[in-house]
Structure 1
Amino acid sequence: MKFYNLNEHKEKKNFSQVLQQGLGTNQGLFFPEYLPKLNNKTIENILNLNFIDKSSYILSLFLKKEIKLKILKKKIKKAFNFPLILNFFNTNLACLELFHGPTLAFKDFGVRFMAQMIEFFNKKKQNKIIILTATSGDTGAAVAHAFYNIKNIEIVILYPYKKISILQEKLFCTLGNNIKTIAIEGNFDDCQNLIKQSFNDQELKQNLNLNSANSINISRLIAQICYYFEAFSQIPLDQRGKKIIISVPSGNFGNLTAGLMAKVIGLPINKFIAATNINDTIPRYLHTGCWKPKKTISTLSNAMDVSIPNNWPRIKEIFKINNWDLNLLESKSITDLETKKTIINVFNKYKSILEPHTAVSFCALKKYILEKDTFNIFLGTAHPAKFKDYIYDILHKKIILPKILVNCIKKENLSYKLPNNFLVLKNFLIKNYII
Structure 2
Amino acid sequence: MTFYSTNNSANVVSLQEALFNSLPQDKGLYMPTSIPQLPDGFIDGITNQSLAEIAYKLTKLWLHDDLTPAQIEELVTYAFPFDTPLVELEAGRKYVLELFHGPSLAFKDVGARFMAGLMSIYSATQSREVHILVATSGDTGGAVAMGFHNVPGVRVSILYPKGRVSQLQEKQLTTLGGNIHAFEVDGSFDDCQAMVKAAFLDNDLTKAFSLSSANSINIFRLIPQSFYYFRALAQLQADHAPAVFSTPSGNFGNLSAGVLAWRMGLPVQAFVAATNLNKVVPDYLSSGQYAPMASLATLSNAMDVGNPSNFVRLQRLFEEDFDQLSSLVSGVYFTDDQTVDEMIKLRDRYNYIACPHTAVGLLGLESYQQLHVDNCGIALATAHPAKFSPVVDTIFGHSVDVPERLAVLAQREKHAIAIPGTFAAFKESLLELA
TM-score range, shorter chain: over 0.9
Map of 2:2 onto structure 1: 2
Residue 367 of structure 1 corresponds to which residue in structure 2? 367
Structure 2: distance between partners of 1:324 and 1:390: 38
2:395 is aligned to 394
The reply to whether residue 117 of structure 1 matches residue 156 of structure 2 is no
Give the CA deviation at 1:207. Answer: 2.2
Shift of 1:50: 3.6
TM-aligned CA deviation for residue 294 of structure 1 = 1.9
Residue pair 2:3, 2:13 contacting (<8 A) in 1 also: yes
Contact 1:6 1:28 in 2 (8 A): yes
> Partner of 2:433 in structure 1?
432
The alpha carbon displacement at 1:372 in A equals 3.8
Give the gaps of 5 or more residues in structure 2. none
How far off its partner does 1:47 sit?
4.0
Tell which deviates more after alignment, 203-212 or 270-279.
203-212
1:383 equivalent in alignment to 2:384: yes
Q: 1:302-381 maps to which residues of 2 (within 5 A)?
A: 302-320=301-319, 324-370=324-370, 371-381=372-382
- CA deviation profile, 1:285-332 (whole Å, cap 9, x unmatched): 111111212221100000000011100111100111788342111010
Is 364-373 or 213-222 further displaced after alignment?
Answer: 364-373
Q: TM-score, length-normalised on structure 1? A: 0.96
- Asked if the contact 2:274/2:332 (under 8 Å) is kept, the reply is yes
Q: Deviations over 1:41-86 (max 9, x none)?
A: 2332244644322111111222111110221112111111112110
Shift of 1:429: 1.4
Alpha-carbon separation, structure 2, partners of 1:134 and 1:247 = 24
Counterpart residue number, 1:244: 243
SS at match of 2:26: helix
User: Structure 1 residue 37 and structure 2 residue 40: aligned?
Assistant: no
Structure 2 letter corresponding to 1:383: H
Aligned mates of 1:400, 1:219 — CA distance in 2: 33
Cα offset for 1:397?
2.9
Q: Return closer, same or farther for 1:324/1:69 CA change in 2, 3 Å cut-off.
A: farther
- The equivalent of 2:128 in structure 1 is 127
> 1:251: Cα distance to partner?
0.3
**Aligned position for 1:190:** 191
Count of aligned pairs: 431
Q: Which residue of 2 aligns with 1:423?
A: 424
1:225-240 paired onto structure 2 within 5 Å: 225-239=226-240
For normalisation by structure 2, the TM-score amounts to 0.97
Give distance in 2, aligned partners of 1:430 and 1:295. 29
Give me the whole-angstrom Cα distance separating, in 2, the residues matched to 1:380 and 1:49. 20
* Residue number in structure 1 paired with 2:224: 223
| Deviation by residue 1:96-154 (Cα, 9 ceiling, x = unmatched) | 00001000000000000000111111123352011011000000100111110111111
Take 2:50 and 2:194, find their aligned partners in 1: how far apart are those partners? 40
Secondary structure at the counterpart of residue 35 of structure 2: coil
C-alpha distance in 2 between matches for 1:289 and 1:72? 41
* Other-structure match for 2:273: 274
Give the match for residue 65 of structure 1. 65
> Could you say which residue in structure 1 is the equivalent of 2:212?
211
CA distance in 2, matches of 1:100, 1:192: 26
Structure 1 unaligned spans of 5+: none
1:149-168 equivalence runs, <5 A: 149-168=150-169
1:26 match: 26
For structure 1, which segment, 291-300 or 269-278, has the greater mean C-alpha deviation from structure 2 after superposition? 291-300
1:88 alignment partner in structure 2 = 88
Give every structure 1 segment of 4 or more consecutive aligned residues whose post-TM-superposition deviation is greater than 6 Å: none
Q: Which amino acid aligns with 2:115?
A: M
What's the % identity of the aligned pairs? 38
The CA distance in 1 between the partners of 2:105 and 2:336, in whole Å, is: 22
Which shows bigger deviation, 285-294 or 186-195?
Answer: 285-294
Secondary structure class of the residue paired with 2:224: helix
**CA deviation digits over 1:178-221, x for unaligned, max 9?**
10000000000000111111111111112210111100101111
Counterpart contact for 1:126–1:152, Cα < 8 Å: no
Distance 2:407 2:208 in 1: 39
Matches within 5 A, 1:140-179: 140-179=141-180
Q: 1:397 to 1:42 in 2, by over 3 A?
A: same
Is the Cα–Cα contact under 8 Å of residues 7 and 25 in structure 1 kept in the other structure?
Answer: no
Equivalent position amino acid for 2:340 in 1: K
| Mapped contact 2:49–2:231 kept (Cα < 8 A) | no
Is the Cα contact below 8 Å between 1:3 and 1:31 reproduced in 2?
A: yes
- Cα distance, 1:5 vs structure 2: 0.6
1:292 partner amino acid: A
Is 2:25–2:201's contact at 8 Å kept on the other side of the alignment?
no
1:418·1:425 contact (CA, 8 Å) conserved in 2? yes
Could you list the per-position Cα deviations for residues 401-426 of structure 1 after superposition, in whole angstroms to 9, with x for gaps in the alignment? 10112111011100110001211211
Kindly provide the CA deviation profile for residues 253-302 of structure 1, in whole angstroms up to 9, marking residues without a partner as x: 00001100111111101100000100010011111111212221100000
